[in-house]
C-alpha cells in the first residue's frame, strides 16, 4: 500500500476559505501531502473582513490533536491562529508531551486578519512566548507580528528584519523566517535566521489585490515540503516559489468584493 506524507494543521477556520485551515488544507493537497486538522476557532469572515469569532474549547482542541497524532504518522505540524491563552496552553501541553519521532513544527503567529481585524485575546502573547515558542522549529512572523512578540517597533529595512529574527530566537524557536511582504521595497524579501546563519530569499513583487491567505499558505507550504523530506532552507525556497505561483494564478480571478484569495489548487508540481 502506498503511504502519503502527512501534515497536521492546527488553526482557525475561515468561512470565506481564503486563509486559515482552508488555505492550509488546499496548500497541503496541492503539494501532495495528506492534511489532518485541528480547528482552534471558527471565524465568520470573507474577503472584506471578520464579523464574528468563536474559540473552540481547549479540551476539544486537545482531543482533535490527539485524534490526529494517535492514528496518522504526522511528519510536520503547522500552527496558525490560536487566539486565546487557554487554547495556546492546550496546544503547547499536547505538543510538548511528544518525545520520539516528534514532527517538525512551523508556527505562523496569526494575530490580525488581512482586513485588519484582531484575531487574538488579551493574554495571548504571554502564553505564546512562555509555552509555544520553545516548541517551535520554525517561526514565521510578518513584520507586525515580530514587533508584537518583541514589544518593539516594526522593522522598516532588511537589516532590522534580520536583527529582529535573531532576537526572536532568544524566545525559544530554533529558526525564524521573517516575512517581508509588507516591507517597502522593490522585491518581496524574506530572511531565514537560525543560530548558525541568516539566508536571504528574494523574489519579484506580483501586482495583485488577491493576497488573502498569503502568510498561511507560505507557512503551510514550508511544513508540507519538510513533510516531503526537504531540509528547512530548501523548504523555504520551495514554499516561497509556490506562493508566488499561487498569487500569479489568482491575480485575475474575481471572488468576493474585497481582497481575494490565492489560487493554490491552480499550482501544479512542487
Q: Which residues are catalytic?
A: 179, 211, 213-216
Can you tell me the distance from the alpha carbon of 221 to that of 236, in angstroms, rounded to the nearest whole number? 8
Q: Could you give the CA distance from residue 78 to residue 91 in angstroms, rounded to a whole number?
A: 12
Closest CA to 241 of 207, 192, 202, 184: 202
DSSP 3-state assignment of 239?
helix
Q: What angle do CA 84, 88, 94 make, to 5 degrees?
A: 150
Q: Report DSSP state, residue 118.
A: B
Sheet holding 198-204, edge to edge: 49-55, 34-46, 6-14, 74-79, 104-107, 138-139, 175-179, 187-194, 198-204
Amino acid at each position: 500500500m502506498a503511504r502519503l506524507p502527512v501534515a497536521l494543521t492546527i488553526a482557525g477556520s475561515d468561512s470565506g476559505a481564503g486563509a486559515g485551515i482552508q488555505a492550509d488544507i488546499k496548500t497541503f493537497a496541492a503539494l501532495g501531502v495528506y492534511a489532518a486538522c485541528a480547528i482552534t476557532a471558527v471565524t465568520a469572515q470573507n474577503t472584506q473582513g471578520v464579523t464574528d469569532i468563536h474559540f473552540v474549547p481547549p479540551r476539544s482542541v486537545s482531543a482533535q490533536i490527539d485524534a490526529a497524532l494517535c492514528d496518522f504518522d504526522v511528519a510536520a505540524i503547522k500552527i496558525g491562529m490560536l487566539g486565546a491563552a487557554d487554547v495556546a496552553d492546550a496546544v503547547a501541553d499536547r505538543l510538548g508531551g511528544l518525545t520520539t519521532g516528534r514532527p517538525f513544527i512551523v508556527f505562523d503567529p496569526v494575530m490580525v486578519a488581512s482586513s485588519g481585524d484582531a484575531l487574538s485575546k488579551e493574554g495571548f502573547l504571554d502564553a505564546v512566548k512562555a509555552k509555544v515558542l520553545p516548541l517551535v522549529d520554525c517561526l514565521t512572523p510578518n513584520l507586525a507580528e515580530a514587533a508584537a512578540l518583541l514589544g518593539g517597533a516594526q522593522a522598516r529595512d532588511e537589516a532590522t528584519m534580520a536583527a529582529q529574527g535573531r532576537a526572536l530566537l532568544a524566545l525559544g524557536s530554533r529558526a525564524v523566517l521573517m516575512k517581508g511582504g509588507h516591507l517597502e521595497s522593490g522585491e518581496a524579501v524574506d530572511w531565514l535566521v537560525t543560530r548558525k546563519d541568516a539566508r536571504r530569499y528574494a523574489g519579484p513583487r506580483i501586482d495583485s489585490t488577491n493576497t488573502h491567505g498569503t502568510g498561511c499558505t507560505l507557512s503551510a507550504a514550508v511544513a508540507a515540503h519538510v513533510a516531503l523530506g526537504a531540509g528547512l532552507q530548501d523548504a523555504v525556497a520551495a514554499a516561497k516559489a509556490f506562493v508566488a505561483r499561487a498569487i500569479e494564478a489568482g491575480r485575475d480571478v474575481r471572488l468576493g468584493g474585497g481582497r481575494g484569495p490565492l489560487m493554490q489548487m491552480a499550482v501544479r508540481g512542487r
